[in-house]
Amino acid sequence: MSTSFDCSNPEELGEGLAAAQRAIAAKSCVVLPTDTVYGIGADAFSPQGVATLLAAKGRGRSMPPPVLIPRLQTMDGLAMDISEDARALARAFWPGGLTLIFHAQPSLTWDLGDTLGTVALRMPDDDVALDLLAVTGPLAVSSANRTGFPAGQSAAQAREQLGESVEVYLEAGHRPVAGSDGVPSTIVDATGEQMRVVRSGAVSIAALREVVPGILDLGEEPAATPAETAGGTAPTLAKNPSLAKE
């Protein structure tokens, strides 16, 4: 049976984090607040937990969930070929509403879905989420809703859609805190030679370009070189599968 905890109450916060930790260890799902919207989370290293998450949302393996991490340093344990520009974006916008797609470390024994060897990472700017991540480690987290419906902006809203498929609900009030409509994180593909935005969201392209001037916006293509123009070809960037909403 699902249990909800009021995380605005310090005593319930402690009980809720402990219950959520137990649920994650048991390969079950939890709902947690983030700085964007509420998320449904499972142990990123548990194929059973991730499968339960995808089933709860009514989502297939073709839309693998991003992974939330507790600290910037965790990035190196999960991803490889991290460019200095990508590190600069992480330093500038983590914790916060930016998701970065990398090549996953090939030695990791996890199954997030059909990722084609990539992983989407984010460090959320939310105290409850970070407290939970500190005791559970990386979590696969997608928006707390059934696929095709609005993301939950409170644990109560998430429970209306996800019900008993989630073991623990951590209620921490409206997200985002300001009370505005939920805005997902901006997703940047950092797997190619030139980084590009693949989903617009909480961090604007203008803010990204203050850190990495050459980053490509959503739908924008790299400028063709003279040789490419003469040859009638232009560079293309492969679409990345790790673009599931949080």
- CA dist 144 and 37 (Å) reads 8
Q: Please tell me the predicted confidence (pLDDT) of residue 113.
A: 85
Q: Please tell me the predicted confidence (pLDDT) of residue 226.
A: 55
Least confidently predicted of 85-89, 106-110, 142-146: 106-110
Residues in the chain, total: 246
User: What is the value of pTM for the model shown?
Assistant: 0.88
Percent of the chain having pLDDT more than 90?
76
Q: Please tell me the predicted confidence (pLDDT) of residue 234.
A: 40
Instruction: Give residue 238's pLDDT band: very low, low, confident or very high (50, 70, 90).
Output: very low
Q: Please tell me the predicted confidence (pLDDT) of residue 221.
A: 87
Taking a C-beta distance cutoff of 8 angstroms, is the pair 71, 63 a contact?
A: no
Is residue 236 scored above 70 in pLDDT? no
Taking a C-beta distance cutoff of 8 angstroms, is the pair 140, 27 a contact?
A: no
Q: Please tell me the predicted confidence (pLDDT) of residue 229.
A: 52
What would the pLDDT profile of 113-139 be if each residue is shown by its tens digit?
Answer: 888 889 999 999 999 999 999 999 999
b/e per residue, 104-135, with b = 16+ CB within 10 A? beeeeebbbbebeebbbbbbbbbebbbbbbee
Q: Chain-wide mean pLDDT for the chain?
A: 90
Is residue 91 scored above 80 in pLDDT? yes
Taking a C-beta distance cutoff of 8 angstroms, is the pair 97, 201 a contact?
A: yes
Least confidently predicted of 34-38, 93-97, 115-119, 145-149: 115-119
- CA dist 30 and 56 (Å) reads 11
Instruction: Give residue 180's pLDDT band: very low, low, confident or very high (50, 70, 90).
Output: low
Q: Is residue 87 exposed (0-12), middle (13-18) or buried (19+ Cβ within 10 Å)?
A: middle
Q: Please tell me the predicted confidence (pLDDT) of residue 241.
A: 45
Rounded to 10 degrees, the C-alpha dihedral 190/92/133/174 comes to: -110
Higher-confidence residue of 179 and 57: namely 57
Written as one letter, the residue type at 72 is: L
* Overall average pLDDT of the 171-194 stretch: 87
> Distances from the Cα of 204 to the Cαs of 69, 183, 186, in angstroms?
22, 12, 8
DSSP character for 216? B
Higher-confidence residue of 91 and 231: namely 91
Q: Please tell me the predicted confidence (pLDDT) of residue 230.
A: 54
- CA dist 92 and 112 (Å) reads 27
What would the pLDDT profile of 33-63 be if each residue is shown by its tens digit?
Answer: 999 999 999 999 999 999 999 999 998 888 8
- CA dist 98 and 76 (Å) reads 17
Q: Please tell me the predicted confidence (pLDDT) of residue 225.
A: 59
DSSP character for 193? S
